Amino acid sequence: MIHSLFMINSAGDIFMEKHWKSVISRSVCDYFFEEQQKANSPEDVNPVISTPHHYLIHIYRENIYFVAVCTTEVPPLFVIEFLHRVVDTFTDYFGDGGETAIKDNYVIVYELLEEMLDNGFPLATESNILKELIKPPNILRTVVNTVTGSSNLADTLPTGQLSNVPWRRAGVKYTNNEAYFDVIEEIDAIIDKQGSTVFADIQGVIDCCVKLSGMPDLTLSFMNPRILDDVSFHPCVRFKRWESERVLSFVPPDGNFRLISYHVGSQNMVAIPVYVKPNISFREGGGRFDVTVGPKQTMGKLVESVVITCAMPKVVLNMNLTPTQGTYTFDPVAKVLTWDVGKINPQKLPNLRGNISLQSGSPPPESNPAISVQFKIQQMAVSGLKVNRLDMYGESSPKKSFSFEKYKPFKGVKYLTKAGNFQVRT
Amino acid sequence: MTDSKYFTTTKKGEIFELKNELNSDKKEKKKEAVKKVIASMTVGKDVSALFPDVVNCMQTDNLELKKLVYLYLMNYAKSQPDMAIMAVNTFVKDCEDTNPLIRALAVRTMGCIRVDKITEYLCEPLRKCLKDEDPYVRKTAAVCVAKLHDINAQLVEDQGFLDQLRELLSDSNPMVVANAVAALSEISDTSPSPAAQMEMNQQTINKLLAALNECTEWGQIFILDALSNYVPKDDREAQSICERVTPRLAHSNAGVVLSAVKVLMKGMEYVGMESEFVTTLQKKLAPPLVTLLSSEPEVQYVALRNINLIVQKRPDILKHEMKVFFVKYNDPIYVKLEKLDIMIRLATQENIAQVLAELKEYATEVDVDFVRKSVRAIGRCAIKVEQAAERCVSTLLDLIQTKVNYVVQEAIVVIKDIFRKYPNKYESIISTLCENLESLDEPDARASMIWIVGEYAERIDNADELLESFLEGFHDESTQVQLQLLTAIVKLFLKKPTETQELVQQVLSLATQDSDNPDLRDRGYIYWRLLSTDPAAAKEVVLAEKPLISSETDRLEPTLLDELICYIASLASVYHKPPSAFVEGQALVVRKTQLPVRSASGEPGATGATESPVPQQVQPAQQQQSVIPSHDTAMGDLLGDLLSMDLNPPQQQMSMTPAPQQDMGGMDLLGGGLDSLLGGPSPVAGMPASQASMGGGLGDILGLGISSTTYVPPKQVWLPASKAKGLEVSGTFSIRQNVRYMDLTLKNNAMAPMGDFAIQFNKNSFGLSPASALQVPSPLSPGQTADVTLPLGTNGPVQKMDPLMNLQVAMKNNIDVFYFSCLIPIHLLFTEDGQMGSASDRKVFLATWKDIPDSNEVQKEVANPNQLDPKGLSDKLQQSFIFTIAQRNVDGRDMLYQSLKLTNGIWVLAELKIQPRSPTMTLSLKTRALDVIPHVQQAYELIIANM
């Protein structure tokens, strides 16, 4: 299982270490540094490294390498998933999981790591339970703590940890009961030079913010559940009901959580909401750049927050462009062109054109750079998924039950489509 | 306010300051101080000096303070074991607390304190906690058993904690079950003792399956991994396990999904012929695997490594999902390379157009490694999908036109493979290739180009010029290129003998005279000899038709693949190596990880594969990968010839090496002068090269060496094949050059290859232990025999055995662990310094002889079948390290006084009375350790009888 954890920042400093069994010397990280040197960019370090005595499994997030050290044969995905969970928890607690946040909260980080893993076995990883054990820092509490001398550590037994619904604590109470559901879909696509789709699929999630008193039992049904044939559920979802009736039945965790994530495969036709008409050419010493963006299949919705990024070849010295709308920047070090387009007006298509200057003497690049596109479309789920209704057990049922409190929650569903890994080859 | 405040220091010295604060009366100040200590500890500062002060803060009812002190204790208890004892009482008290949280915390922390003394106190509280009424305490205690096992395995077994842990497998709380499974698997992974192994029967499996649905995601991973080690007893059971595991595929935790995939992949093997069930299950497997590819890149990488195995085993599962493996430009390089590999595995006639278009796109990317692999992939596609070969070749030609140096080189390497696969089809492009000759600077590409020129020399008008140009810088080339150049020129010569005689002479002399590389020299000599004796035969050998290269390059070997399928989701699946190849300290435990036999034989019905039939019988790796096997095989034959001819009188073999250097210089190439070198007429190519003749020759050499030293008893069968699943082990002991060896013969009588051999000795009377690892040529194919020598040391652990000379041995291979015992011949333990005193100074011997009481003298009649004289006897015995100190003649009888010493320092003195012309002698032995006497007597008899 997981033996130790090292956190390494971009400068190569090990700024935090935690050992769940015996102490492993920092020098084990030398193997990691060796591997890191071979990589062209920080993201390119192979996540599973074997050394003569240990296995190093790491993730790279927030510009930090979280390097787990294992001594026995372990499922690597278990380690990777766990590390991601650790960073998620930090983000949840401190607002972000970056180095400064960790350094500012050393003791809490240490306490968290201690609670999350025991002898290398995961102990409490649900944010709900952790927050009962270790209260997240906030300014108000720090002030109160210093005044009253109370601690940020709870001394009650985390109730959820032992119940049948470990993700929810008992005795939740709200004055305003509300449940919001965000259906968010991301389009991953590769579009070729001619504008035809090489590959496209949709990654969807339903993120919830549920603030309901007591132990609510919810049922969410869809107009067209057949779209969901590849789904991953939060542990709270009753799989049997889904199998038989295609409805999501669950006792929700308290607060924010991801109810399901789903994937609409490449076999289905995926509507591509924007098109990009690139025209990039290089010659000796320079080149032309001319890119137009336009809406395609948007179902009449507005395409907004459009951002075009293009990693130019290394020989590009500078770019001198004129946008018809929005602003553009060119980072001459990273050679990345970013064009913040904003909304697309179908009547007047945004365009960015101008000249490229190359380093003198170097030959023009062999290939054109790929363009990646970001956009958002509100109130549309590109897969066509639609929520039919949300029922709360005890609310609409005439049967009176003791265990459920009677209240009428406020319910809301929002849809959002955005670009995931959306690439256009030029 | 943040924790950074804990790092502010004052001038007075941090430790001093903290010490004061820790001993403060105010609770608040104390707590802040402990926090500061913890903060320093997290960044690696040494605050162990504060140990007593921190421990003093432990007795508190403030939970936070307690936790902080516990954190500190875990870190420093090891360096301050005596102080840690002070904390024990508090722990024991906390284990009885009314609050289950405190009970759990105490037992958890105690387990983390890795101090031997503390573990004694831990046992009682732990036993109670394992039976605690609160499941939270029980699940914490389960993990604590694993911790304790890590510190003191024996204690855990003696105290019966393993049984208690096994009882927890049927606990009512799923989390307790999951933790018990996790703890047990970890213990069985690290412990060789059979008591630690997790026995699984139908009841436990049902319990686990029930707990699976209700425990946390991590618990599910542990349970699924445990399930995958279970061998279902029949189809129905396998099917029901699969059905109950399938819902796990929809879990949001990638680890759960992949572990479930493992259980299902294994389960499908057992369900077998009921193909309908398998087909449905296969359909269900595709979506979750695809979903893994939209997770974080690290998850993608692990998933891709596993998918690589899965598509090799069951290509149907993902056959329609080609597109998800298309590479995005911002994928990390490790993801890109894996995707590429899988794309080729999934390439079929239907999707090849798409794949090629993608690959061509990738070949223009920036990352050199990736571009190279893409170009190589195009070549692999050509070899895999025949219909696409033409398109691939034209794509490659397009790429060559780009003139990007590394693209051209890579393209040439793969085109050579395409030529090999489809002979006489695409040679029209040779001229284009030749245009790029100058730009090639990598050995691989140069060697490939030279191979092409040599192979098609008759179609290339200026082949001799081309090759000659390479020859100029012959010595600067890498070995690979030199070898190719040699072969290519010989081919050219055989095809166009008239114009190229000079060239071939030149290359042969370069290879044989001016090169230090033995491979090159040997190949040079072999060609030379071939050409000089029988050019026709040379033609037959060198220009022989080559076997076609396999369409599936770099496929895993089926048995390895089957093994790896059992390790899906584990590290082994990422490395594509069985765990035994890299996991350290796996003791001698081999998990039950075999798939049922029917799948190993590759029953096509089981996979339901109708299209793209995968060649089940994969040629040996060597043949697959060697691009120019004709030479390799020719080499093999020749080598056999040489050995079978020349080794018979081994002395002649000794003189063979220097000979060529003397004679070579003035030798006429076609004059047959080589024959003189070999001492007699030599039939060329045609004498069957057999392993036996090689073995025989080597055996002779070894035999000579052995007979000049100690007596070696003949090999005995120590482990019959019937007891070791087909492995037969026979062996003996010997001493050569003062090193003791165990000589073993391993024979594989089973149907499957064996590998991963290892050996261990139990403690024995003389501390014999292996001095190095067991080196067995792996894999040992069925029917194959391997002779292995294992050097022995005498510094191993000692324990007196009964019988005294008994040696218990454990031998491991990829199948199982086997135990056998054998008797050490005592003369193996005689040392070369066993001469007491010296030949001139006999006083020491006499004094010792007198010193040992007469009761310690044992007499025995020993046979002297060859009726050797005293001189002969003492000479022979001396070779076995029995040294003669003095010789006397009393009443016509010769008396030999001898001494010997055992490796553990025991001296044995002997008096041998020899009657002339009598078949027996009287042997009197005197030593302080009477136990060895019968064995020494036996050794005398054996040595003398075998003179």
DSSP codes of every residue in B738-783: TEEEEEEEEEE-SSS-B---EEEE--BTT--EESS-----SSB-TT
Task: Pick A106's closest partner by Cβ from B42, B190, B297.
Answer: B42
Does residue B748 have a pLDDT over 50?
yes
Tokens of B210: 């029930």
For B30-51, what is the mean pLDDT?
Answer: 80
Which one of A56, A65, A106 makes the best mutation probe of the B interface by having the most chain B beta carbons within 10 Å? A106
Beta strands in A151-236 (DSSP E): 178-191, 197-211, 218-222, 231-233
Among A161, A179, A183, smallest CA distance to A170 is for A161
* CB proximity list for B160: less than 8 A, separation 6 or greater: none
pLDDT at B578: 83
Q: Identify any residues that bridge with B288 across adjacent strands, giving them in sequence order.
A: none
Distance from CA of A306 to the nearest CA of B (A): 19
- Residues of B within 8 A of A43 (CB-CB) are 297, 332
According to CATH, the topology of domain A178-270+380-424 is Immunoglobulin-like (2.60.40)
CB-based contact, A366 to chain B, within 8 Å:
yes
* Domain ranges (residues) in chain B: 442-533, 716-824, 828-946
User: Does residue B808 sit in helix, strand or coil?
Assistant: strand
B361-369 mean pLDDT? 84
Please give the pLDDT value at position A222: 92
Q: How confident is the model at residue A58 (pLDDT cuts 50, 70, 90)?
A: very high
Which runs of consecutive H residues, i.e. helices, occur in B246-388? 254-271, 275-292, 297-313, 333-346, 352-362, 368-384
The CATH fold assigned to A2-148 is: Beta-Lactamase (3.30.450)
Find, among B124, B57, B68, B56, the residue nearest to B96 by Cα. B124
Look at the block and give the residue holding tokens 């232990």: B769
Element (H, E) at A390: strand A387-392
Using CB atoms, pick whichever of B2, B143, B258 lies closest to residue A121. B143
Least confident of A209-213, B542-546, B674-678: B674-678
| Confidence class for position B598, pLDDT limits 50, 70, 90 | very low
Residues in contact with A237: Cβ distance below 8 Å, sequence separation at least 6, in sequence order:
A248, A249, A250, A259, A260
Is some CB atom of chain B closer than 8 A to the CB atom of A113?
no
- The residue type at B354: Q
Confidence of residue B684 (pLDDT cuts 50, 70, 90): very low
Closest partner residue to B296 (CB to CB) among A53, A59, A243 is: A59
- Buried residues in A167-195 as b, exposed as e (16+ CB within 10 A): bbbeebeeeebebebbbbbbbbbbbbeee
Per-residue confidence (pLDDT) for residue A6, from 0 to 100: 94
Distance (Å, rounded) from C-alpha A267 to C-alpha A254?
A: 36
Using a CB-CB distance cutoff of 8 angstroms, which residues of chain A are in contact with residue B251?
A: 232-233, 235
Is B190 within 8 Å of A44 when comparing Cβ atoms?
no
Residues 273-332, chain A, touching B (beta carbon < 8 A) = 311, 313-314
Q: What percent of chain A has pLDDT over 90?
A: 33
pLDDT band at B81 (very low <50, low <70, confident <90, very high): confident
**In CATH terms, are A2-148 and A178-270+380-424 the same topology?**
no
- Per-residue pLDDT tens digits for B486-498: 999 998 888 888 8
Q: What is the pLDDT of residues A231-288, one digit of tens each?
A: 888 888 888 888 889 999 998 888 888 899 898 876 667 889 999 999 988 888 888 9
Task: Work out the percent of chain B whose per-residue pLDDT is above 70.
Answer: 83
What pLDDT is stored for residue B3 in this prediction?
A: 59
E strand or H helix at B845, and its extent? helix B843-851
pLDDT at position B7, please? 57
Domain assignments of chain A as residue spans, ordered by start: 2-148, 178-270+380-424, 274-378
- Specify the pLDDT at position B899: 86
Put simply, the chain A residues between 183 and 202 with a CB less than 8 A from any chain B CB are 188, 190, 198-199, 201
Q: Are residues A366 and B402, on separate chains, in Cβ contact within 8 Å? A: yes
CA distance A281 to chain B (A): 15
Supply A393's token pair.
């057990």
Per-residue pLDDT band at B459 (split at 50, 70, 90):
confident
Residues 6+ positions from B401 with CB-CB distance below 8 Å: none
> What pLDDT score does B608 carry?
37
Place of tokens 């050290």: A69
Residue for token digits 């696409």?
B388
Query: Would you say residue A84 has pLDDT above 70?
Result: yes
* Eight-state DSSP code of residue A270: -
pLDDT at A155 over 50: no
Q: What is the mean pLDDT of residues A23-50?
A: 89
B235, B241, B244, B245: CA torsion to nearest 10 = -120
Over 90: is that where the pLDDT of A80 sits?
yes
Over range A291-320, report the average pLDDT: 89
Q: Are strands B907-914 and A231-233 parallel, antiparallel or unpaired?
A: unpaired
Q: What share of chain A is helix, strand, coil (3-state, %, to 5)?
A: 20, 40, 40
| In chain A, % of residues over pLDDT 70 | 89
Instruction: Check whether A17 has a pLDDT greater than 70.
Output: yes
What are φ and ψ of residue A258, in 5° steps? Answer: -100, 115
Above 80 in pLDDT, residue B469?
Answer: yes
Q: Decide if domain A274-378 falls under CATH 2.120.10.30.
A: no
Task: Go through chain A and tell me how many residues it has.
Answer: 426
Beta partners for residue B812, in sequence order = B758, B817
Mean pLDDT for all residues in chain B:
78
Record the pTM: 0.68
CA distance A397 to A154: 37
**Shortest CA gap A403–chain B (Å):** 22
- For residue A249, give the nearest of A262, A261, A234, A263 by alpha carbon: A234
- CA count, 13 A, side-chain hemisphere, A321: 24
Binned at pLDDT 50, 70 and 90, residue A405 comes out as low
What pLDDT does A338 receive? Answer: 94
Give the residue-averaged pLDDT of B361-376. Answer: 87
Return the SS3 of B243.
Answer: helix
**Alpha carbon of A54: minimum distance to chain B alpha carbons (Å):** 9
Question: Three-class SS of residue A191?
Answer: strand
**Of A49, A21, A22, B531, nearest in space to A8 by CA:** A49
Which of A112-126, B301-315, B530-544, B817-831 has the largest mean confidence?
Answer: B301-315
pLDDT band at A8 (very low <50, low <70, confident <90, very high): very high
In degrees, rounded to 5, the angle at the alpha carbon of residue A369 between the alpha carbons of residues A363 and A370 is 170
Position A60 pLDDT exceeds 70: yes
Average of per-residue pLDDT across B674-698: 39
Cross-chain CB nearest to A122 (options B108, B218, B257):
B218
Does any CB of chain B come closer than 8 Å to the CB of residue A37? no
Least confident of A102-116, B158-172, B174-188, B858-872: B858-872
Interface contact flag, A75 B569, Cβ < 8 Å: yes
Contact in structure between B862 and B896 (CB atoms under 8 Å): no
Residue A77: which of B78, B255, B328 has the nearest Cβ? B255
Chain B environment of A26 (Cβ under 8 Å): 44
**pLDDT score recorded for residue A85:** 92
Q: Contacts of residue B143 in chain A, CB cutoff 8 Å?
A: 118-119, 121
Examine the pLDDT at B623 and tell me if it is beyond 70. Answer: no
**What's the mean per-residue pLDDT of chain A?**
84
- Whole-number pLDDT of residue B672: 42
Residue type, B919: P
- What does the block give as tokens for A25? 């010397």
Contact predicate B311/B318, CB 8 Å: yes
Q: Look at B476 and B598; give whichever has higher pLDDT.
A: B476
Three-point CA angle B119, B121, B124, nearest 5°: 110
A79-83, B227-231, B796-800: segment of lowest average pLDDT: B796-800
Q: Sorting pLDDT into bands at 50, 70 and 90, what band is B550? A: low
Grade residue B330 by pLDDT with cuts at 50, 70 and 90.
confident
Of the ranges A178-192, A204-218, B342-356, B687-701, which one carries the lowest mean pLDDT score? B687-701
Q: What is the mean pLDDT of residues B863-887?
A: 80
The alpha-carbon gap from A304 to the nearest alpha carbon of chain B, in Å, equals 23
Q: β-strand A218-222 against B806-812: which pairing, if any?
A: unpaired
Q: Quick check: B218 and A82 CB within 8 A? A: yes
Q: What is residue B293's three-state secondary structure?
A: coil
CATH architecture of the domain formed by B716-824? Sandwich (2.60)
Of chain B residues 76-135, which have a CB less than 8 A from chain A? 78, 99-101, 108, 111-112, 114, 134-135
Domain B828-946 coded CATH 3.40.50.720:
no
B837 reaches A (C-beta below 8 A) = no
Q: Which residues contact B577 (CB under 8 A, 6 or more apart)?
A: none
Q: Looking at residue A371, what DSSP letter applies? A: E
Q: Do A263 and B114 touch (CB under 8 A)?
A: no
Cβ distance A31 to A99 under 8 Å? Answer: no
Whether B316 has a pLDDT exceeding 80, the answer reads yes
pLDDT digits (tens, 9 = 90+) for A128-139: 778 877 877 765
Q: What are phi and psi of A75, to 5 degrees?
A: -70, 115
